[in-house]
Structure 1
């Protein structure tokens, strides 16, 4: 099984939104048994909590399930348990690389979400916990998840 981990700061806004959107796309493409998806945060402030209300409202609007999703913190085991570790911003990527140490040096399994969207001028997915703009994040996440799925299909599924 191919596995993807989305990472943000608190694991209540951006990364659970990406997890839910990507899971929805996997179901649409019949790949839910081939690709697994999860999310985690670099911080521990919201452990065990469901996604932020703004994320839930937006996902409800688009008919995307977030059932059973609870915030958790990134662990050392996440490095070996995931093929793709997608960080929502520079700070998340630095924190993840620091946690993983030399394992992540030079390895492309850890990268920023916005690397999937090079045409956008920003290098970070804005944090709607602070900006309140969940719609903007959804637009980026939706397109980025589509591109990630294409990337996985090209890199991994052609080898199966």
Structure 2
């Protein structure tokens, strides 16, 4: 079983959107019995809360479920439990790596580094920008690239 964790700052905008979009792609590829997907935030401000209204609206617009999702904070055990930890931006990546200074088995990757032709290095935070369309488009590209990476590295159809 391959385990993927998406991480942003508060776990209400970007990482839950990525979790839902990636889960949808994995299900459509018939791989939901091989890949487990979750999301978390580096901060604890939104623990227990549903995804942001803008995230929910964008997912609704695209027919993607977010049922049962609620914010949670990244923990030290996540670094052992997940194979891939996908950071939405440089700051998230630094915070994850700081937590991972101790023993860690996860492959920590900044999401946009997976997309070869992508000029932006980070998925901007729509909590501050309000641009959920841009974030959704970046997450779509990143999710396709991540699924391809996992299939190449882990072996798959």
The bucket for the TM-score relative to the shorter chain is over 0.9
Listed as ranges, the matches of 1:1-160 within 5 Å are 1-104=1-104, 109-158=107-156
3-state SS of paired residue (1:103):
coil
Q: Quick one: distance in 2 between partners of 1:128 and 1:119?
A: 22
| Residue aligned with 2:20, SS | helix
Unaligned runs of 5+ in 1: none
User: Which whole-Å deviations, capped at 9, do the CAs of 1:103-127 have from their partners, x for residues lacking one?
Assistant: 35xx770010011113222211010
> Where does the alignment leave 5 or more consecutive residues of structure 2 unmatched?
none
Specify the SS of the correspondent of 1:118. Answer: coil
**Partner Cα distance (1:67, 1:108) in 2:** 26
**How far apart, in 1, do the equivalents of 2:141 and 2:43 lie?**
26
How many pairs are equivalent?
Answer: 157
Q: Compute the TM-score of the two structures, normalised by the length of structure 1.
A: 0.94
TM-score (norm 2): 0.96
- Counterpart-to-counterpart distance in 2, 1:101 and 1:6: 19
Superimposed CA distance per residue, residues 7-39 of structure 1 (whole angstroms, 9 cap, x where no aligned partner): 000000000000000000011011111000000
Contact 2:80-2:106 within 8 A present in 1 as well: no
**What's the CA shift string for 1:16-75, capped at 9, x where partnerless?**
000000000011011111000000000010010000000000000000000000000000
Runs of 4+ in 1 over 4 A off after TM superposition: none
Give the secondary structure class of the aligned counterpart of 2:101. helix
Q: Secondary structure at the match of 1:101?
A: coil
